[in-house]
Structure 1
């Protein structure tokens, strides 16, 4: 009987895994941390040693108050400047008081400080750079997101964190990056607890605007809990499932293969895998399309794209193993509609 069960399981995998590949890009089509159509030209120009395209991009986001895009782009540009600093040095020399260059400079300094064994001391030294970036445009919440990251790295007390948080939300009450930084500070791995982390995430998600990525904060809290090694303060399974359900609903509001929610979708997939919700994980992998992101896979592997592809194959096998054996040829799943649901024959 054991041999028969093993044979049936293998037969199910062999028959069902191929159809389950429908809607999933091939391994060679996957992209890791792909920039969007606005950021890509700035990175290409920076690779040639030119800063003007990046400067114009950030100036546009500042003038249009596109704070979410501004924060993301500044983060990516700072990361690029760590490995290719020439273009950024030219920008700082040409426009030392440019609010956009000051923002990237503050982000870059904080990122570099985090890598040092003397992290807290080095981060305290770069505090004036954050202040200068914040003063360059008092409307901008991005320097306050950097300040929240800085507070976490310098062991700042809750009173200081609360002051920074108040400044951040005064500028942008629903800014996703600021919420993520605050959630990290309140996590059990830093200066809070799982309960405090979940409470903050759920309140923020409840108050979030329709379609806002802030609705994904509970699934970030779930990720923090699932990756906490100590296992202190057990979180009920119902709370974890509710966080995943909310993130699934959010993901369905965006078109499949949309790069904007890609990181949230990758994070959600990780949580669904940990919760062994295989069908939901496979559906989310289809919504991800070709957009893999380093986070969260770099938390468990030095090869985030390879880890993503390996787990994607594992999800397909798990779903295949649970699909009833049928004599007729298995039908591939219908493609997803623009809202992430299976498309019907009459859909156009």
Structure 2
């Protein structure tokens, strides 16, 4: 282990270079401007995603802008005051309200009161699937029935058949931790992944189902190991389609790394850590610790130690030839 652990650090950035939830080159300037009280770049960014139907980017940016508005609301309050009917401002408003509602002890009651905000966001641009992802999150928090969930799901896929955010939210609803079961969750994930377009993040849904299973108190029941390995293998194949240290698949690579560690597939986990590079994400590590970055770095060291402990000190020699006697 002493000999191999330093060598296995090759391709891994030093701890001090690893950052958490780094915004991409489009979002970063909008966040900086918002921090200065200027909502203009954020409004322009979301307007661009709407006009170009960049639904995946729109969903990610909405989530990040709403998270920023929770702690620094002045810029967002100014945006709403200046443009109360702006589809993009209404979308962030709905996301922010649902996130706040989830944190309340009276979650279900508070979330039910937010229905009009979701309706306003959805009606502001009928093409947009992101309000329906928010609605699916909302449904989970309000104890919506399977019938109500299915109606929301139909609205979501009608707008975008392959929207990753809507699929991930639906998967949570169908998990054993909420209103489904491990088997129902896996069946949904595998069907969606089999229909996904090449390179689509939807191919990681079975790995998300594996994560839900492995973090459940009842994870010793029901799902065979080969199904978990198949989910991991599919996500590994997707990860390899992207460049190393690419921020776009960073969250799915972080998730996949957790699954591989739980499956004790140490070499595969180390490969994902090298592909992640400096892009640690809060999910899934914030499910295990209050310090997600520290948790990620600690796990990264642990994976290197596990791989080192299985690496022979010297490579095995080949068979001895007769002329060597």
Q: TM-score range by the shorter chain?
A: over 0.9
CA distance in 2, matches of 1:303, 1:118: 26
Which residue is equivalent to 1:42?
Answer: 30
Which residue is equivalent to 1:79?
Answer: 67
**Residue 246, structure 1, aligned to residue 238, structure 2:** no
Q: Which has the higher contact order (CA 8 A, sep 6+)?
A: 1
CA distance in 2, matches of 1:284, 1:326: 25
User: What is the CA-CA distance between 1:230 and the residue it aligns to?
Assistant: 2.8
Which residue is equivalent to 1:277?
Answer: 265
SS of the residue aligned with 2:270? helix
CA distance in 2, matches of 1:310, 1:144: 37
State TM-score, norm by structure 2: 0.96
* Aligned counterparts, 1:128-207, within 5 A: 128-207=116-195
- Structure 2 spans left out of the alignment, 5+ residues: 317-325
SS of the residue aligned with 1:138? coil
Which residue is equivalent to 2:88?
Answer: 100
SS of the residue aligned with 2:8? helix
SS of the residue aligned with 1:21? coil
**Residue 114, structure 1, aligned to residue 102, structure 2:** yes
Q: Indicate which of 290, 298, 301 corresponds to 2:289.
A: 301
User: What is the CA-CA distance between 1:231 and the residue it aligns to?
Assistant: 3.2
Cα distance, 1:187–1:327 mapped onto 2, change above 3 Å: closer
CA contact (8 A) 2:286 2:292 kept: yes
CA contact (8 A) 2:183 2:222 kept: no
Which residue is equivalent to 1:57?
Answer: 45
**Residue 291, structure 1, aligned to residue 279, structure 2:** yes
User: What is the CA-CA distance between 1:232 and the residue it aligns to?
Assistant: 6.2
RMSD over aligned Cα atoms: 1.0
User: What is the CA-CA distance between 1:201 and the residue it aligns to?
Assistant: 0.1
State TM-score, norm by structure 1: 0.90
User: What is the CA-CA distance between 1:110 and the residue it aligns to?
Assistant: 0.2
Aligned length: 316
Which residue is equivalent to 2:200?
Answer: 212
Structure 1 residue runs of 4+, over 2 Å off? 230-234
- Structure 1 spans left out of the alignment, 5+ residues: 1-12, 329-348
SS of the residue aligned with 2:3? helix
Which residue is equivalent to 2:252?
Answer: 264
